[in-house]
Amino acid sequence: MKTDSATGLIEVFSSLQGEGLFLGYRQIFVRFPGCNLACSYCDTPLAMPEQCRVETEPGSGQFRLIPQPVPFSTLYDLAASWCVDLPDAHHSFSITGGEPLLHAGVLAVWLPRLREILPIYLETNGTLPDALSPLLHLLDYICMDIKLPSVAGTGDLWEEHRRFLELARETEVSVKMIVGPQTTDQELLMACDLVSDVDPEIPLVLQPQTGRDGTVTVAAVQLLHWQSLAARLLADVRVIPQTHRFMGVL
Ligand code: SF4
């Protein structure tokens, strides 16, 4: 595949990171379609649209539609022009989905060129270690999920997560766990044990599940309890809710 290749994308826009360790950093988001999981709380559009929506001006929230598949040169020129118009405003590209590692072949070709513009931050569900492996040298930051079966309804993914994290630690990696009213202490400790076994210095973000109206579904006292449990095993544990909805950003 060449860098003049084209692929289907859902959307490209400039906004603030709304969750995880990099909350508040401005990024250029490139959203890929499709996912290998079906989490019970997923509210992300996953299907490939007939046209890709691209922000007309960075941060405007106004979009135009462009034909699929999107040529690499279109994405590159757009991102480069936004970085000229708004020098130093963006921290990184957020390569997101869906599950972007389903497009590992495209990423292998596109990321070296995109990285000329901005560092690369990968948002991933942390279940495709074989797809991650050949891309590691192209990634600056990884935010990986650990899916708690009680909340995500995905079944047991511990082994996939362990293999993924062992690879991802070669970059600047952080772990995000969505916790909900169903989460048990035992399940949380299993996940923290997994992270600690790989490296207890890896930052962990506990993200309380957010309802459709933007309200947090877990009481503060419960979140503080889980934070104290996780902190026995890990050096850097934070509780950060999703902020997109109440901030009114994309
Ligand atoms: S991993 Fe993310 S994109 Fe995929 S189904 Fe779960 S929440 Fe949705």
User: For the segment 49-87, what is each residue's pLDDT rounded down to a tens digit?
Assistant: 999 999 999 999 999 999 999 999 999 999 999 999 999
Share of the chain above pLDDT 90, in %: 89
Rounded distance between C-alpha atoms, residue 153 and residue 180, angstroms = 12
Options 3.20.20.70, 3.90.850.10, 3.40.50.720, 3.20.20.80; CATH for 6-247 is 3.20.20.70
Query: Mean of the pLDDT values across residues 101-119?
Result: 98
pLDDT classification of 248: cutoffs 50, 70, 90:
low
Q: Is the CB of 203 under 6 A from ligand 1?
A: no
> How sure is the predictor about 1, in pLDDT bands with cuts at 50, 70 and 90?
low
Q: Which two tokens stand for residue 250?
A: 């994309």
Q: To the nearest whole number, what is the mean pLDDT of the chain?
A: 95
CA of 242 to the centre of ligand 1 (A): 15
* Closest to 122 in 3D by CA, of 106, 139, 134, 137: 139
Query: What confidence score (pLDDT) does residue 113 get?
Result: 97
CA of 85 to the centre of ligand 1 (A): 33
Tokens 């309200």, located at residue: 215
Q: Which residue puts its alpha carbon closest to atom 2 of ligand 1?
A: 98
Tell me, using a 6 A CB cutoff, whether residue 224 lines ligand 1: no
Overall size of the chain counted in residues: 250
Q: pLDDT grade, residue 8 (50/70/90)? A: very high
Compute the distance between CA of residue 5 and CA of residue 71 in angstroms, rounded to an integer.
Answer: 6
pTM of the model: 0.96
Residue nearest to atom 3 of ligand 1 (CA): 98
Ligand 1: which residue has its CA nearest to atom 1?
Answer: 125
